[in-house]
A and B are shown apart, each in its own frame.
Chain A
Amino acid sequence: MSSWIVVLVIVACALYAVAIYNRLITHRNRVRNAWSQIDVQLRRRHDLVPNLVESVKGYMAHERGVIDAIVEARKQAMAAGPDVAARADAENTLGRSLRSLFALTEAIPQLRANENMLSLQEELGSTENRIAFARQHYNDSVMQYNTALESVPSNIVAGIFGFRSETLFAAEETERQPVLVKF
């Protein structure tokens, strides 16, 4: 009789461990999926930059420095490796230089009325939002995953199977302000 109880308890524990393991896998896959979504949106921004540079170059001959900074930041961002922190750093630099460019275009009336420029601004603004939302989703997913990793009893299962915590995609302090893109 008592041996049956022992067997039952062991089976119940094993089933519970399996459930926890599956939950951790779900969380981790969500984090990976969220990361790939950030990646897609960052690439979208990379693709938009040459187009933008082409449209404003003619009007901003006296601001070569800003344009060069953007081109350089894009190159850096595209070269950044898979490390989350380094990638976030490079992308934040690109975002910052894009914002300073848009601040400058405000002063040029021809650009403010340009149909092509307006749609570029919508696309870039939307891309900025997508990056922000993708990052938000990624960070929320990482938070849930890390919480699961650290709390009892899932931390035991996580320890046995070698789940490692993920890094948050940090936003800069300046990025917490609304993006200054008018359209």
Chain B
Amino acid sequence: MVSTGGIAAGGLSPAGHVSFFDEQARRRRGTWRLSFACLLVASGVGIVLSAAVTPLLLLIGGGLLNLTAWLGLAPAVMHQAVRIIGGWAAYHLGNFDRLIGSLDHVNRLGDLGVLLPPLTKLSPLAVPALIAAAIVWLGLRALTMRAGGEDLIHRLNARPANPADREEHQLSNIIEELAIAAGLPSPRLFVIDSPIVNAAAVGRTHKDAAVLVTRGLLDSLDRAETSAVIGHMIASIGGGDIKVTASILAVFQTFGFFLTVLDLPFRWSAWRALGGLVVVSATPRPSPESIVRAGDSIEAGLGADTMPDIERMFAWVPFQWLRYVLLAPLLPPMLISMLLKLVLFLWTAFFLGPPLSWLWRNRRYMADAKAVELTRDPDALARALTTIAGSGVPPGGELREYFFISAPAAASKSALGNRQTMSAALHPPLARRVARLVAFGAGPVGRAEPFRPFRWLTTLPPMAALAVAALLALLVPLFAALFVMIFYLTAIAMTLALAAGLTLVVAIFGG
């Protein structure tokens, strides 16, 4: 191994090359833009969910007020407040009727404008749900931040580095060097005994972060390449990627949370998941594993199947027909819950997944640029990425593959990876990453070719190319039809949820 100090500071960059400072500034702006896009889409999903969540909140609020009155605390005021809730629900039920009524006047696409005034009148209904969603999101994000991905250390059986081993001692030297380069405190170091070449960064804050490196990486990369990988890790820690991960995960967990609450009447595991979350939130110092377990079971609410639990719940009923009779009143809310789940799945897959994965990819490019700023050695990072991309994720890390510097799309088994079916991977394609590094001045690297995803089209014979083009053109109306279908499903789910929920509120608290 030859040590290369990161000495060549700055220097003149040849024409056409990009400075890593400019790249970082560009990526930072990209982070803001993509975060904003994610926020918009997530609010859209929040509005969809509000059709079920707002009536639920009204029910809970009214129930609590009644309970307080029953306990003898200012009963007059409480009853008045309950009446206000009932009145508000009745008022919006009226608006809702008017909206359904005006649907009769919609015969052509141009008539959709007729729906606008009643929709605007109904829009305050989304506010309580959106506020609740924001609070739940902040809480879940704080909880995920507290875990900081540290469960990965146990999941991968990572151990502290052994200073007697020359390679591992050198690794701890490298980490300290790059921490100095970034002006950050040196992170903790763990070694994973696996022949796979990869590395990950976890931790609550940049003050107590940890870097996990596989033994395979130590054995197959030289000092400069290892430095480049560690540079990426330090850049990721310093750039606050752990916060970004927590924010993204918390979005899914928030959706899962509300669906879990809606599932409470029909699903045992919903009680378990919610109970686990409450226990973890109430524990003063929960372990990272318990936080992650609670978060995962809440998130599972997004796709949980209710039927088996329902059948178990009614297993004690002696006759089949009696079971059906008892089940009948549960069917409408179950239908609404299932519809909402379907709509939510479609929204996350088609609208929320892509910006979220672009956001994460953007962070990877940014950490690459910062790593080059630290080591001033784009060649080494390009070589290291090429080696890592061919290797994979160490066993046990598949569920948290986004913490690693690079992971093949096939290894993606995480919730984040699953949700975005439109864009395959959370990590940018290797060729594109290397292309960015070449722009910083890296030389050509072995297998990496210029990134041209549709290059194969030009090599086809003319007739075949025409057929492919026709097929692609056919995709456009197909997608349009798909989006219209998602829109209709959303409208149906929202209408059903809102009608049932508001009617229930009005029936209980009086109009």
> Which residues of A are in contact with B by a Cβ distance under 8 Å?
30, 33-34, 37, 41, 118-119, 122-123, 125-126, 128-130, 132-137, 139, 141, 171, 175-179, 181-183
Contact = CB atoms under 8 A, between A and B. Distances in A.
30 contacts: A30-B183, A33-B183, A37-B183, A119-B166, A119-B169, A122-B166, A122-B169, A122-B170, A126-B173, A126-B174, A128-B5, A129-B173, A129-B177, A130-B176, A132-B7, A133-B177, A133-B178, A133-B181, A134-B180, A136-B9, A136-B181, A136-B374, A139-B9, A141-B183, A171-B7, A171-B9, A176-B9, A178-B2, A178-B4, A182-B2
Contact of B180 (A37, A139, A181, A183): A37
B3 interface: yes
B444 interface: no
A40 B178 CA distance: 15
B9 A178 contact: no
B3 A130 contact: no
Given A122-B173, A125-B3, A137-B183, 5 more contacts: A122-B166, A129-B5, A129-B173, A133-B6, A178-B5
Nearest to A133: B181
Contacts of A34: 183
B183 A129 contact: no
A179 B177 CA distance: 15
B8 interface: yes
B1 interface: yes
A134 B179 CA distance: 9
B39 interface: no
Which among B7, B9, B176 has the greatest number of chain A C-beta atoms within 10 A? B7
Contacts of A129: 3, 5-6, 173, 177
Contacts of A133: 5-6, 177-178, 180-181, 374
A118 B167 CA distance: 12
Contacts of A118: 166
A181 B181 contact: no
B489 interface: no
Main secondary structure of the interface of A (DSSP, over half): helix
B80 to A, nearest CB: 41
B126 interface: no
A46 B376 CA distance: 26
Given A133-B374, A176-B8, A183 B3 contact: yes
Contacts of B57: none
A141 B182 CA distance: 10
Interface residues of B, number: 23
Contacts of B169: 119, 122
B183 A179 contact: no
B420 to A, nearest CB: 36
B221 to A, nearest CB: 16
Interface in B165-195: 166, 169-170, 173-174, 176-178, 180-183
Contacts of B3: 125-126, 128-129, 178-179, 181, 183
Given A37-B183, A137-B183, A141-B183, A132 B6 contact: yes
Nearest to A132: B5
B441 to A, nearest CB: 15
A129 B377 CA distance: 13
Given A33-B183, A130-B180, A136 B6 contact: yes
Contacts of A137: 180-183
Contacts of A181: 2-3
Nearest to B1: A183
Closest 5 CB pairs of A and B: A133-B181, A126-B173, A132-B5, A125-B3, A129-B177
Contact of A41 (B2, B7, B180): B180
Interface in B1-44: 1-9
A37 B180 CA distance: 7
Contacts of B4: 178-179
B183 A176 contact: no
A126 B176 CA distance: 9
Contacts of B2: 178, 181-182
A176 B173 contact: no
Nearest to B7: A132
Contacts of B5: 128-129, 132-133, 178-179
A65 B5 CA distance: 27
Given A122-B169, A171-B9, A130 B183 contact: no
Nearest to A134: B180
Contacts of B166: 118-119, 122
Contact of B177 (A30, A126, A183): A126
Interface string B56-74: 0000000000000000000
A125 B7 CA distance: 13
A175 B9 CA distance: 11
A171 B9 CA distance: 9
Contacts of A128: 3, 5
A126 B174 CA distance: 7
A130 B170 CA distance: 13
Nearest to A34: B183
B177 A130 contact: yes
A128 B166 CA distance: 18
B7 A175 contact: yes
A118 B9 CA distance: 28
B52 to A, nearest CB: 44
Contacts of A30: 183
Contacts of A182: 2
A166 B447 CA distance: 45
Contacts of A135: 9
Which among B174, B177, B376 has the greatest number of chain A C-beta atoms within 10 A? B177
A125 B374 CA distance: 17
A31 to B, nearest CB: 10
Contacts of B376: 136
